[in-house]
Amino acid sequence: MAKVWQIEMLGALRVTGQDVSIDRFRTRRVALLLAYLACYRNRVHFRDEVGELLWPETDPVAIGRNLRQALTSLRHVVEPPPLPPGSILQVQQARLRLNPELVSTDVGEFEQSISEARRKGDAPERIPLLRRAIDLYKGEFLPGYSEDWVTQERLRLDDLYVYSLRKLIDHCKQTKNPEESVYYLRLALEKERLNEELHVCLMEEYLASGRPASAIQQFEDLRRQLEDHLGEEPGQAAFDLYEKAQRTTDPSVQTPTRRAAPNPPPRLQPEIEEEGAPAPTVRLPVHLTRFCGRQEEVAYTLDHLLYRDVRLTTLLGPAGTGKTRLAAEVGRRLAETGEWNVWFVPLADVSDGSTVMDAIFELLKARGAGNQDPLDRLRNTLHGRQNNLLILDNLEHIVEDAAPVIDRIAQKVPEVRLLVTSRQSLRLSVEHQIPVPPLPVPPSISAPEDLTELARLAECPSVQLFVDRCQAIRPDFQLTTHNSRAIAAICGKLEGVPLAIELAAGLSGSFPPSQMVYHLQKRLTALTSRRRDLPARHRSLRAAIDYSYETLPAALQRFFASLSVFRGGFKVEAAYEVCFRDRFEPACEDASMRTVPLDDCLNLLIELQERSLLRTEEADEECELSFRMLESFREYAEEHLSEAEHHDLCAQHGEFYRRQPPKTTFALSAEERTKRHLWIESEYENYIAAIDFYFREQAFEPCIELLEILATTWASRGPRGAERSYIRRIANRLEGETIDPARHILLLRMLGTTHIRSLEYAAAHQICIKALAIAERHALSDQIAVCHTAIATCAGYLGNLDECLVLSEKVLATVPEENLLQRERAYLGIGAVHWGRGALDEANRAFQRAADISAKRLGGDPEALILSNLARVSLDTGRLDEAMTRLGETMRICGRLHDDFGMATCLSLVSRYHWLKRDLAAAVATGFEALTKFRQADFSHYSLVGIFQQALILVDIEEWEVAATLLATTQGIGRAARLPDEWDHAAAIGKIRLHLGAAEFERAWARGLAMDTEEAFRLALRFK
């Protein structure tokens, strides 16, 4: 099968196909992901393994999100139309790889050539293979990358390369071919500069080919290398060859005297000076504060400057993200090599872009007359200098006039590299852009309980920056377990924007971090600096954004302000419907005569993105591109709306999201359900903003409609805090209000769900009874059945199995056959009752009936919860292999639907499978994964079920005290426990009491009773 892509990793990372070559990737991590999969393309990789390799020491949720985004970006690179998705990048459940049948690599061909050469006994067959390997080796493996796995692979491939060179050198000596031998020896010395044996061999070949002067030069090079690096002199063999070469050129020359090995002399000037060239020039601003984070951006920029033929690189980012500091840091690192001339050209005060050359000439002290062609004058100034970097800082306000000047320099002056910082793209074909986003922020945390967690938080770049700048004001300021939560909240609220963090740190002389969080509610007002040495545009967050806003045309200013109605990300269609259609679309009665309005809206969005006022976000592969505005920018934009404009926009925003995603009257396929789920999740903040608007307007029915949309995702993650809050507040406000009874019932059922999630089963039961009363009062037969199912669920959690069974059977008797959802739920309730009583065969039959109905209702796979129940019954009846087959199917469904809660349930059952099989190490490891996901799903009952399962395993590995403590915390399961669980519980308690004794058991049990669920999670997660 013909290969679609050739991936090169030796000398540079490049993807080559028919008529296309790609060497730029969205981020450095995307490039590393491609390289890793390509380097080991014959393996199948686990997502968790790859994620942890690329994002070490990162929260698992963030790793999963980052990996999904990286895979999406990589898929865009390697699977452009018409290649079908999955043809190159194969992702199946938890595994991924590049298709080895369609992808080849220079590393693979290099290794294959050497491997075949080793198998060949005869030189005529072996030598061409070794020559091909040398030709394939265009440079070291992934230059510019320093990750551990890259370094190890680089050393291994270097060894293979040198091995091949040595074999070819030996062959050339045997066949008396000194010219070819010289070629290969030079290549080998590039890798092993201090290998005296190779230097001596090269001198011998030079003499053999009649080139004594080259042999002398090689001796001098060896002598200098050994003296500089090792403080040693060459050996006698080298001196003998040197003498021979000298006498060949001049017989009167005497043997040079060997010096004692001195200490290496200090290198006061770079090597270029020894040849008479001018010393490198460095003109950089002095920064006396610590540089935090940005390792990836620094490495990526250096890669552009050092290893790629990139003449113009733009560091592109919004106000305050640290572009200037990043550029200066890159310049400093190049200057430290002693091989680069670096000039920093500040342009913030330049008002005319056409005078950029004047600013450059002034800094360079340019040679030549003012009437000379500027490019010739620049070339003359740089004559004799190699590796020149011009940093052009703050170009955005003069970009229109400056861009042609910069384009000419990049095109016509090959001696110079340009590094530009700007909030706006130059839009030049020669330009390579490197985004400069805000710094990473820590996840929302509770206060760390140990030094390990605190150390992990201290490694977050935004936290490092905040602490460092606070210490400049209060030298005794430290990150502690007491202030860590507030500091994490500050960095998160400021979204990792370095300027905002530095301004917030300026408040540390007046407020502790906990009070800073409160003052940052009005960040544009609070974040103002009193420092005299800052430029005006950096003395406040508002001034920094002003600097960008004031360069916008009036229409773009209006559009930017209107986008402030969105929270989080938003799609192009949303921006068009809410902000563009009625405000910017040209009036025209004949729709066919209009320009394409959606394209016009997209053009405005792209314009704002290119000015760094918006950023794009690629969500999961199934979702379309989103735009997002930093919250500081959104608040600033909102200030430019009148009260009436803001109200009208909020109303249109709410109407749009009430219609999204469109309702259907038919069952959605699994793919369509996944897309719907991901769309809702990606727009979550906008739904909450719309609910807030309608709540303030006291329009409660639209609130309930929006909450109903969000509730379609609860099966996988449950109601979040904001949803719970609005549900309870609306329910309290509806007392005495008249609304549609079906809406009222829906709200009460959602309220009941929030109580169940919090283990408040009795309250949920009472609320569902209240909903039933409303349904009966209005004779809503379909709602009566729904309420009976809800009450039956609550009764099951309360342990009222008789009530649950009666109500479930009543639903089956009253709802029509075509009401598949209620019949499915009724069989699920009946199965749960039988399961709770230990009648496992009856439970299996009821669950299987529910699964059949669910498959019919969904037109494919049944609900994951039903399948996991069937798997648990199989485990409880000893059909372990059958259970694992079911769990594999269920995990596939959960993965496809992004059902984290369902995945947690499956992992808990897999842990139980390993426990029953007595593979305790696997049981603990899988239990750890399950607990991590249960913790994220925030469903207290099932969290306790996961902790209970982990406690059973800990009993068998003889962690008696911890097991007793965790079993005590799971008393919240209470009467909802099933009979098989009660048997396990009794057996575990018996073992613990036997080994601990009464007193120690009571102490451990008391500790568990005093623990909340979060503390229990922390304890259980100690075991991996």
The model's pLDDT over 237-256, given as tens digits with 9 standing for 90+, comes to 888 888 888 887 765 555 55
**Cα–Cα distances in angstroms (integers) from residue 404 to residues 353, 428, 961, in the given order:** 9, 9, 73
Rg, C-alpha atoms of the chain: 35
Tokens of 784: 């009566």
Per-residue confidence (pLDDT) for residue 92, from 0 to 100: 78
**Cα–Cα distance measured from residue 607 to residue 382, given in angstroms and rounded to the nearest whole number:** 36
Strand 20-22 with 14-17, pairing = antiparallel
What's the mean pLDDT in 653-670?
A: 79
* DSSP helix/strand/coil, 389: strand
Quickly state the pLDDT bin for 780 (edges 50, 70, 90).
Answer: very high
Beta strands 388-393; 341-346: pairing state? parallel
> What is the pLDDT, as a whole number, of residue 942?
80
Reading phi first (left if > 0) and then psi (alpha if -120 to 50, else beta), residue 867 is in alpha
Phi, psi of 718, deg, nearest 5: 75, 165
CA dihedral 471, 474, 476, 482 (to 10 degrees): -90
| Region class of 343: left (phi > 0), else alpha (psi between -120 and 50), else beta | beta
Measured CA to CA in angstroms, residue 372 lies from 41, 163, 375, 376 at distances of: 56, 55, 8, 7
More confident residue, 342 or 539: 342
Of 190 and 333, the one with more pLDDT: 333
Quick one: pLDDT band at residue 274, thresholds 50, 70, 90? very low
184 and 176 Cβ atoms separated by less than 8 Å: no
pLDDT at 517 over 70: yes
Query: At 416, is the pLDDT very low, low, confident or very high (cuts 50, 70, 90)?
Result: very high
Q: For the chain, first and last CA: distance in Å?
A: 44
Residue 948 has pLDDT above 70, yes or no: yes
Given the DSSP bridges, would you call strands 341-346 and 416-422 parallel, antiparallel or unpaired?
Answer: unpaired
Q: Which fold has domain 1-192?
A: Arc Repressor Mutant, subunit A (1.10.10)
pLDDT at 896 over 90: no
Q: What is the mean pLDDT of residues 458-486?
A: 88
Average pLDDT of the chain to the nearest whole number: 85
pLDDT of residue 909: 92
Greater confidence (981 vs 399) lies with: 399
CATH tag for 553-583+599-656 (out of 1.20.140, 1.10.10, 2.170.240, 3.40.50): 1.10.10
pLDDT of 778 > 80? The answer is yes
Mean pLDDT of 19-44: 86
380 backbone dihedrals φ, ψ, rounded to 5°: -65, -40
**Mean pLDDT along residues 26-46:** 88
Q: How large is the average pLDDT for residues 869-879?
A: 92
Q: Which of 77-81, 263-267, 777-781 has the lowest mean pLDDT?
A: 263-267
Give per-residue pLDDT as tens, 334-358.
998 888 999 999 998 888 888 888 8
Residue 590 has pLDDT above 50, yes or no: no
**Would you place residue 91 in the very low, low, confident or very high pLDDT band (cuts 50, 70, 90)?**
confident
Whether pLDDT at 543 is above 60: yes
pLDDT at 148 over 60: yes
Closest CA to 831 of 777, 782, 869, 868: 869
If one compares 666 and 870, the residue with the highest pLDDT of the two is 870
Q: Three-state SS for 732? A: helix
Sheet with 5-8, strands from edge to edge, namely 20-22, 14-17, 5-8, 103-105
Report whether 289 contacts 472 (CB < 8 A).
yes
Options 3.10.20.30, 3.40.50.2000, 3.40.50.300, 3.30.70.1520; CATH for 309-435 is 3.40.50.300
Question: Cα-Cα-Cα-Cα dihedral of 872, 943, 95, 569, to 10°?
Answer: 130
Q: pLDDT class for 368, splitting at 50, 70, 90?
A: low
Half-sphere exposure of 493 (CA within 13 A, CB side): 20
Residues 96-116: tens digit of each pLDDT:
989 988 999 999 999 999 988
Six-digit token string for 229: 């690096």
pLDDT of residue 59: 77
Is-contact 863 673, C-beta < 8 A?
no
pTM score of the predicted model: 0.74
Given the DSSP bridges, would you call strands 14-17 and 5-8 parallel, antiparallel or unpaired?
antiparallel
Of 141, 111, 140, 116, the closest CA to residue 128 belongs to: 116
Res 821 pLDDT > 60: yes
Residue 595, pLDDT score: 47
Select the more confidently predicted residue: 716 or 976.
716
Range name among 35-39, 276-280, 988-992 with the lowest pLDDT average: 276-280
Torsion, Cα of 419, 421, 424, 427 (10° steps): 0
- In the chain, % of residues over pLDDT 70: 91
Is the model's pLDDT at 291 over the cut of 80? yes
Per-residue pLDDT tens over the stretch 449-469: 556 778 888 889 999 999 999
Q: Which whole-number Å values give the CA distances from 957 to 578, 884, 986, 1018, in the listed order?
A: 59, 23, 17, 19
List helix spans (H) across 506-627.
513-519, 523-526, 541-549, 554-562, 572-575, 597-610
What mean pLDDT do residues 813-824 have?
92
What does the alpha-carbon distance between residue 54 and residue 147 come to, in Å, rounded to a whole number?
Answer: 9
Range name among 529-543, 809-823, 951-965, 1004-1018 with the lowest pLDDT average: 529-543
* 180-199 average pLDDT score: 86
Of 896 and 967, the one with more pLDDT:
967
Residue 531 has a CB neighbour count (10 Å cut-off) of 10
